[in-house]
A and B are shown apart, each in its own frame.
Chain A
Amino acid sequence: MAQNNIDNIKDHAELFHQDEYQELFQAKKEFEGGHASEEVQRIAEWTKTWEYREKNFAREALTVNPAKACQPLGAILAAVGFEGTLPFVHGSQGCVAYFRSHFTRHFKEPFSAVSSSMTEDAAVFGGLNNMIDGLATSYNLYKPKMIAVCTTCMAEVIGDDLQAFIKTSKEKGSVPEEFPVPFAHTPSFVGSHITGYDNMMKGILTNLTAGKKTETKNGKINFIPGFETYIGNLREIKRIANLMGVDYTLLADNSEYLDSPNTGEYNMYPGGTPLDVAADSINAEATIAFQAYSTTKTREYIQKDWQQPTYVTRPVGIRGTDEFLMKLSALTGKPIPKELEEERGRAVDALTDSQAWLHGKRVSMYGDPDLVIGLVQFLLEVGAEPIHIVVTNSNDVFETELRALLDSSPFGQNAVIYGGKDLWHMRSLLFTEPVDFFIGNSYGKYLWRDTHTPIVRIGYPIFDRHHLHRYATYGYSGTINLLNWIVNTILDELDRNTIVPAKTDISYDLIR
C-alpha cells in the first residue's frame, strides 16, 4: 500500500515515485502505442542542434509557447485601478472566466469582472440585448461606481458598436444617464494585453475627464504605471512621491485591489483612484508613464487632447531611478531628499558587493517590451551581458529603442533582439548558445527543465512561486530586490552544481 504511513501522507510529489505506481506506468505503455525510447532520445537530442534551430526559426504560421496574452486581459487590469470599478467584457463569457482565473492565480486575490455572455443568437443578431441586460444586472448586483466595458474577439468580429450600445442601454434605463460607462474596443487579434491596457486607460480617461478642463493647472503630476503586475512598484512610486512632497495622481492605483488586507470581511472594490481625482488629471502639470508600449495611445491622447506634456521613465536600476527622480524634481521644482540619496548609496553599495558574481554573466530574457528594457538597464549597470532577448509582443519602435540602449554599453554588444518570437525559439537559443541564467515568467520553468539554464522569475504571470508580485522592482529598493533575486539564483545554482561529496564539493564554499 502506497499510503503506508499515516503520519506522512504522500501526495503526487512522492506517491507516484513508489514502486507500485512506477510499475503501473511501465505496464501502461503496452497500450499507449508510443515510440521506442531510443527514438524519443534521438529526437530530443536533435532538437538541441543548430539544424533544428534553423528549422525552428523558419516557421511562419505556427506559434509555440508565446509570451503574450490578448487585449482584454490588459483592459480589465487597467479598469480595476479606479475606485469602485467593475470591468465588463462584452462578448463570449469564457474569456472572463479565463481572465479572472489568470489574475487570481498570479495575485492570489479575488478578481471581479462580468461578461455579457453572448451566445449563438447574439452572433447572428448582435449583442445589444446582452449589453442592455448585462449592464442592468451588474449595476444592481455589484453596485459599482463605474463600469468599464471592453470586448472579446467575438464581439469584434461581428462588429458590435460599444458607443451606440452603451447609449441605447442608458436610454433603456440599464444604468443612470450620468453613470460613467467608459469603453474600449479590445480585439484579441490586434496587439496583446499591453495594447488592451492602453486602449482601456485611454477610454476611461476620455470618459472621466470630459468637460473637466479648467483654466488653471492643479499642480499635480500624473503617473501611469502601464501593465504593471508588481504591487510593490505602485507602493514604491507613491512612497517616493510622498518623500519628495510631490502631489500626484496614480492612473490608476490597483495596489489595494490586488493586495488587500485580510480583515475577515470581503470588500469587492478595495482602494482605487477616486473617480473625481482621476477626472482632474486633465488639469495636471504633466504625466509620467513608467511603461512606453502599454501607454502609446494614452500618451498621444494626453498630449493632443489635454495639451499636457508626457514623459516615459522606467525607474529600474540605479540610473533608471536617477532619471525618474531628476525628472520629477525638474517638473515640480522639489529637491530630491537626502533619504533617497542614502537609499541610492545603499543600493549602489549592494551592487558593488555582488558585482563579481554578475560581471560578464551571459543572460537571456523574455517578457513585455518595457519589462525587458528595464531589465537590460539594470543588467548593463552591473556588467552582465544580455545575449538573447525574446519579445513576442514586440514592435519596431521598441526594438530601435532597445538596440540603442544595448549599443550604449560595452556589455550590450552581444545581444540579439528576437522580436515576435516565442519560447520554443528561446529553447533553441538556449541549447545552441547557452547562457548562465535567464529571466522570465513561470512558463520559463519548462526551459529550465529542458535546458538546465537557471531561471530568475521576473514578469507575468508568476504562478509557481509565492509573493514575488508583492515586491518592488522600481526605485533603489527595487534595485536591491532585483539584485537579490539574480545574484542568489546564481549562488544557489553554484551550490547545486557543487554538492556531490568527494566529487564536486571542493567548491561548495561557505563564504561567497
Chain B
Amino acid sequence: MTPPESATLEETTAVNQALSVADTKELIKEVLEVYPDKAKKKREKHLNVYEAGKSDCGVKSNIKSVPGSMTTRGCAYAGSKGVVWGPIKDMIHISHGPVGCGYYSWSGRRNYYIGTTGIDTFGTMQFTSDFQERDIVFGGDKKLAQLITELEELFPLNRGVSIQSECPIGLIGDDIEAVAKKSAKEIGKTVVPVRCEGFRGVSQSLGHHIANDAVRDWVFPQYDKAKKEGNVPEGTPYDVAIIGDYNIGGDAWSSRILLEEIGLRVVAQWSGDGTLHEMINTPSVKLNLVHCYRSMNYISRHMEEAYGIPWLEYNFFGPTKIAESLREIAAKFDATIQQKAEEVIAKYEAQTQAVIEKYRPRLEGKTVALMVGGLRPRHVVPAFYDLGMKLIGTGYEFGHNDDYKRTTHYVENGTLIYDDVSAYEFEEFVKQLKPDLIASGIKEKYVFQKMALPFRQMHSWDYSGPYHGYDGFAIFARDMDLALNSPTWSLIGAPWKQAEATA
C-alpha cells in the first residue's frame, strides 16, 4: 500500500486521531520525562512518529532492553524452542537445564498439529533434564546422553531430538555438540544441539537466528548427503515450502489450502505442523514462501545462497493483501498457476464480501494500537483497513531495522511508532491516544481491559483463529467485532458513581 499524501491524511484522520505529528512527538517527550537520564537517552531513540515519504520509521531497534523498564521481550530460548523448533511435531525437543523454561513454555503457543501426542508427535509435551545443583556443579553432559537413551526407549517413534539450551548450559561449559554427535550415532537419528541460552542477544530474535543456523548445520547436511547419493525424491515445478508459519490456531493450514488451490505443491511447512522429513527435503523446492520474515529470513537467505532457491514474502491477512500476494506468488510460475490464482480470488469473492458487508459497518472508523512480535505489527494492518479500521500506533517487541523499513509500506502519516515499548510507555500512550482497540499480548491484555478498553491478543489470536487466508479473515472480522462491540464494556462503572460525578 502506498502511504497517502500527508496533508490529506491528517484531515481525514482528524476525527479519530486527535494529535498531529508535532503533538505526538511532544507526547513522546512527555512520556520520557520520568526516566532517569541514562535510560531516557536510550529510550528516546526507540520512539518516533512516522512521517509519510520517509524510508523508515525513525526508530532504533534490536538493542538491549533498558533494565527495570518492564520490557515485554523474551529470550533466545523462547525464540528457538518456543517459536522455531518447538512446532516440529515428530521430534522431541529437550528443554535442557532447570525445569522452569520448559514448564512456562509448555503448550503456551497453540502450534496446531495432527498426530498422536506422546506416540508419533510430541508438540504439547514438556521434556526436560530438570537440572539440580549437582548438574550445575558437575556438568550435565552425562545426564543429557542418558536422557536421550531413555527417550529413545520410551518414545521409539520419534524422528529426532533437539537440545534447547537454557541459560546455565553455556555458563558451565557443557559440550552438548559432542553429546549430540555421540547420541545421534547411538540412536541412529538426528540430534540437534541448539545454543539458545536465554542470556544470548537482546530478545527472542537471536534465538530465531541460532535456531535457523542449527537447521543449516545439523539438518541440511542430510539433504546434501541424500542428494549426493541420488536419494532425493523427484519434485515438480510447482514445489514450494511455507516458511515461518507456526500454525497458531491453524494459520498455516488456512494458508496452505489457498496455495494448493492455485496449483502449487506445498512439500514442507516450517514449522507449524511440520516434520523433520519436510525440513530435510526443503532444499528441493522451487520457491520458499516466507510468512514470518523476522524469524526465518536467515534460513531463507541461506537456501538462496546454497541451493539457489528464491524466496518471497507474502501476506495472507485480509482480502486485499491475500489477492495481492496470490498474484505475486503466481507470477513466479506459469500461466496455469496465474489463471488458477485469479479463479481462487474470484471463488472467495462472495465469502469475503459477506464478511465485509456484515462487519465493516460495525467497525468503520475504529482506531487500533498494535504491539506485537514477528511480522504482525505490519502484516495485520491491511486486515484492519479492510474492515474500515485505522491504525494509530504500532511497534515491535523484537523487530530489526529491516522490519521498520518494511513497516513504512503499511502505516500512514502520523502513526506513533514504539520499539520494545515498556509497560509504562504503552500505558501512557494509550491514555493519551485513546484507541478503540488494543491488539497486543497476554501481559498487556488485562492492563487495558481494566481501563475499559477492548483488547485482542495478536500473538495467540486470543485462543481463536486461524486468522490467515480467506477463511481466517472471516474469523478475524468476527473477533474484532465481538471485542469492540461487547456489551460488557458498558457495565464498567457503577451507575450511582456516574450520577455522583455528573451531579
Mark A residues whose CB is within 8 Å of B.
1-4, 6, 9-12, 15-16, 20-21, 24-25, 27-28, 31-35, 39-40, 43-44, 47, 52, 55-56, 59-66, 68-70, 72-73, 88, 91-95, 97-102, 104-105, 108-120, 122-123, 130-131, 133-142, 152-154, 157-158, 187-190, 192, 260, 262-267, 424, 427, 443, 446, 450
Contacts and interface: CB of A to CB of B under 8 A. Distances in A.
Interface in B115-132: 115-120, 124-132
Contacts of B72: 97
A113 B168 CA distance: 22
Contacts of A40: 116, 119-120, 157
A112 B423 contact: yes
A37 B167 CA distance: 39
- Of B144, B445, B450, the most chain A CB neighbours within 10 A belong to B450
A153 B427 CA distance: 30
Contact of A31 (B116, B131, B267): B267
Contact of A61 (B120, B150, B266): B150
A354 to B, nearest CB: 33
In this complex, the interface size class of chain B, counting residues with CB under 8 Å from chain A, is: 35 or more
Contacts of B114: 25, 28
Contacts of B9: none
Given A95-B75, A119-B202, A123-B199, A133 B127 contact: no
B131 A142 contact: no
A32 B68 contact: no
| Residue of B38, B70, B115 contacting most chain A CB atoms (<10 Å) | B70
A136 to B, nearest CB: 5
B104 A99 contact: yes
Contact of B130 (A24, A63, A263): A63
Contacts of B449: 262
B450 A262 contact: yes
Given A24-B260, A153-B166, A98 B101 contact: yes
B73 A55 contact: no
Interface string B140-166: 000110110011011011010000001
B464 A11 contact: yes
B359 to A, nearest CB: 9
A62 B151 contact: yes
Contact of B157 (A35, A64, A98, A135): A35
Given A1-B347, A16-B253, A137 B103 contact: no
B475 A9 contact: yes
Interface string B166-179: 11101110000000
A34 B120 contact: yes
A69 B64 contact: no
Contacts of B166: 153
23 contacts: A1-B347, A9-B355, A9-B477, A12-B112, A31-B266, A35-B157, A47-B118, A61-B146, A70-B103, A93-B198, A94-B78, A94-B101, A94-B198, A111-B443, A117-B67, A117-B68, A118-B199, A120-B201, A136-B68, A137-B35, A140-B34, A266-B447, A446-B118
* Most chain A CB within a 10 A radius of its CB, from B35, B90, B471: B471
A20 B347 CA distance: 14
Contacts of A131: 67
Contacts of B471: 1-3, 15
A93 B450 contact: no
A60 B36 CA distance: 50
B443 A97 contact: yes
A131 B277 CA distance: 46
Interface string B327-370: 00000000000000000000110110011001000000000000
B126 A115 contact: no
Name, among A3, A28, A62, A427, the residue most crowded by chain B CB atoms within 10 Å (CB to CB).
A62
Nearest to B124: A446
Contact of B464 (A12, A139, A264): A12
Given A4-B351, A70-B99, A153-B97, A35 B104 contact: no
Given A35-B120, A64-B125, A122 B199 contact: yes
Nearest to B451: A266
A177 B305 CA distance: 58
A20 B253 CA distance: 11
B126 to A, nearest CB: 5
B257 interface: yes
A310 to B, nearest CB: 27
A64 B119 contact: no
Contacts of B423: 112
B489 to A, nearest CB: 9
Interface of B: 34-36, 38-39, 64-78, 90, 97-101, 103-108, 112, 114-120, 124-133, 135-136, 143-144, 146-147, 150-151, 153-154, 156-157, 159, 166-168, 170-172, 198-202, 204, 249-250, 253-254, 256-257, 260, 266-269, 273, 275-278, 281, 347-348, 350-351, 354-355, 358, 422-424, 427, 441-443, 445-452, 464-466, 470-471, 474-475, 477-478, 492-493
A43 B156 contact: yes
Contacts of B36: 133, 136-137, 140
B492 A33 contact: no
Nearest to B122: A64
A400 to B, nearest CB: 22
Given A9-B475, A63-B99, A66-B130, A142 B198 contact: no
Contact of A109 (B71, B120, B446): B446
A346 B124 CA distance: 42
B169 to A, nearest CB: 10
Contacts of A61: 129, 143-144, 146-147, 150
B442 A105 contact: yes
Given A44-B119, A266-B447, A63 B127 contact: yes
For A16, A35, A92, A424, the residue with the greatest tally of chain B CB atoms inside 10 Å of its CB is A92
Contact of B200 (A95, A102, A119, A263): A119
A140 B151 CA distance: 49
A211 to B, nearest CB: 28
A41 to B, nearest CB: 8
A94 B77 contact: yes
A21 B252 CA distance: 11
Given A63-B128, A133-B39, A114 B146 contact: no
Contact of A69 (B35, B99, B268, B422): B99
Given A43-B157, A113-B70, 5 more contacts: A20-B257, A64-B125, A73-B100, A101-B441, A117-B71
B250 A16 contact: yes
A24 B256 contact: yes
A84 to B, nearest CB: 15
Contact of B105 (A60, A98, A136): A98
A462 to B, nearest CB: 13
A121 B117 CA distance: 40
A261 B153 CA distance: 51
A251 B119 CA distance: 46
B247 to A, nearest CB: 10
A25 B412 CA distance: 40
B154 A33 contact: no
A114 B69 contact: yes
A47 B120 CA distance: 12
Nearest to B465: A12
B74 A98 contact: yes
Contacts of B129: 61-63
A51 B113 CA distance: 29
B492 A264 contact: yes
A223 to B, nearest CB: 27
A188 B99 contact: yes
A33 B276 contact: yes
A459 B481 CA distance: 34
Nearest to A109: B446
B133 A188 contact: no
Contact of B442 (A101, A133, A266): A101
Contacts of B66: 117, 133, 137
Nearest to A142: B424
A43 B119 contact: yes
A428 to B, nearest CB: 10
